């Protein structure tokens, strides 16, 4: 625990005294430390591809100058590194944007099953290239709920991309949207949106930390598949903004299920929703 201590001279009923005030600043110190860690992480993450790029440029100007085959190979790797930096910057911007509007609840009404259909369509080529199968289990009637369409699309996109990236060849990925039902955690009606894969699973010791920025279970694997380490941190903030819940269930060698529970009604409508949902 850290204290900010201030002492001031006061005069109490004519007698001189010193008033000492203790202010608990532990939370400020922790926030400061987290900010410093974040800056150090970002610098490190940006520097890795930059160092590689500088190295390749020097090789291209020197030893590989007249080697056409090596030049092509190096240029391809340089393009990969530049794309990696681009993804990192895009994810950093997304993260900062979702953190900024986390307090502002979305007011548009969106249909989760529609969003799932759009995103799965977009990711079909990626799945095919990786040897993954995508499928959806959607409710007969899609319900509308308060949400931000782009952000919920980003949530589904990040989770499905992870399932494809970490699932390995032959993985099956199923996205399910449930019909609205009473959710005790929300004390109201909610819709469950889950992304399940038949991949290698995640050791339970890692699960509590998965949504931390730059936390990776296998650093090498994450970089190999082009991960930035920010995907699940972005997911967490978007779910928070929607006042939803995120749940991760995983078993090694069986697979992983990410479930998001989203409230169907905006706050204020809560009372009637609770009674309707519970009946
Ligand atoms: P990354 O950019 O590294 O993918 P994320 O925040 O999206 O970062 O995910 C954090 C880590 O969680 C990943 O590095 C990976 O180790 C693990 N992970 C995420 N989704 C899955 C999944 N479906 N199966 C196995 N591991 C996963």
**Number of other residues whose CB lies within 10 A of the CB of residue 12:** 8
**Number of other residues whose CB lies within 10 A of the CB of residue 101:** 14
Q: 179: which DSSP letter? A: P
Question: What is the reported pLDDT for 16?
Answer: 79
Q: Is 255 in the pocket of ligand 1 (CB under 6 A)?
A: no
Q: Which residues contact 154 (CB under 8 A, 6 or more apart)?
A: 94, 234, 235, 238
Given the CA of residue 228, which atom of ligand 1 is nearest to it? 2
Question: What is the reported pLDDT for 278?
Answer: 40
Q: Which two tokens stand for residue 22?
A: 């203790």
Residue with tokens 């399910």: 176
Given the CA of residue 226, which atom of ligand 1 is nearest to it? 2
Q: Which of 118, 112, 160, 99 is nearest to 261 (CA)?
A: 112
148-164: per-residue pLDDT in tens?
A: 999 999 999 999 999 99
Please state the ipTM of this predicted complex.
0.99
Which H/E stretch holds residue 231?
A: helix 231-241
Question: What is the reported pLDDT for 270?
Answer: 46
> Average pLDDT over the chain, rounded to whole?
91
Q: 216: which DSSP letter? A: -
Q: What distance in Å separates the CA atoms of residue 173 and residue 257, rounded to the nearest whole number? A: 10
Best substitution site from 87, 222, 225, 251 to test ligand 1's pocket, by max atoms within 8 Å of Cβ? 222
Q: Which residues of the chain have pLDDT under 70?
A: 12, 266-279
Best substitution site from 194, 206, 227 to test ligand 1's pocket, by max atoms within 8 Å of Cβ? 227
Give the dihedral sign, CA 121/123/125/127. Answer: negative
């Amino acid at each position: 625990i850290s204290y900010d201590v201030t002492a001031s001279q006061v005069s109490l009923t004519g007698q001189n005294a010193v008033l000492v005030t203790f202010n608990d600043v532990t939370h400020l110190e922790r926030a400061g430390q987290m900010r410093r860690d974040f800056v150090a992480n970002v610098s490190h993450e940006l520097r890795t591809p930059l160092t590689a790029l500088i190295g390749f440029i020097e090789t291209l100007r020197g030893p590989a100058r007249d080697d056409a085959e090596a030049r092509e190979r190096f240029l391809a790797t340089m393009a990969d590194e530049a794309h990696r930096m681009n993804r990192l910057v895009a994810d950093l911007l997304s993260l900062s944007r979702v953190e900024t509007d986390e307090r502002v609840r979305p007011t548009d009404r969106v249909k989760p099953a529609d969003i799932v259909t759009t995103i799965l369509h977009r990711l079909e080529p990626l799945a095919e290239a990786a040897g993954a199968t995508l499928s959806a289990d959607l409710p007969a009637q899609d319900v509308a709920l308060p949400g931000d369409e782009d952000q919920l699309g980003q949530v589904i996109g990040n989770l499905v991309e992870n399932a494809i990236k970490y699932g390995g060849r032959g993985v099956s990925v199923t996205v399910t949207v449930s019909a609205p039902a009473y959710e005790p955690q929300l004390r109201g009606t909610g819709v469950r949106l889950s992304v399940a894969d038949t991949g290698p699973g995640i050791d339970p010791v890692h699960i509590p930390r998965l949504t931390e920025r730059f936390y990776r279970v296998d650093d090498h694997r994450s970089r190999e598949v082009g991960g930035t380490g920010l995907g699940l941190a972005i997911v967490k903030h978007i779910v928070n903004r929607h006042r939803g819940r995120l749940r991760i269930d995983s078993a090694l060698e069986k697979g992983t299920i990410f479930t998001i529970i989203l409230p169907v009604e905006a706050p204020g409508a809560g009372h009637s929703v609770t009674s309707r949902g519970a009946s």
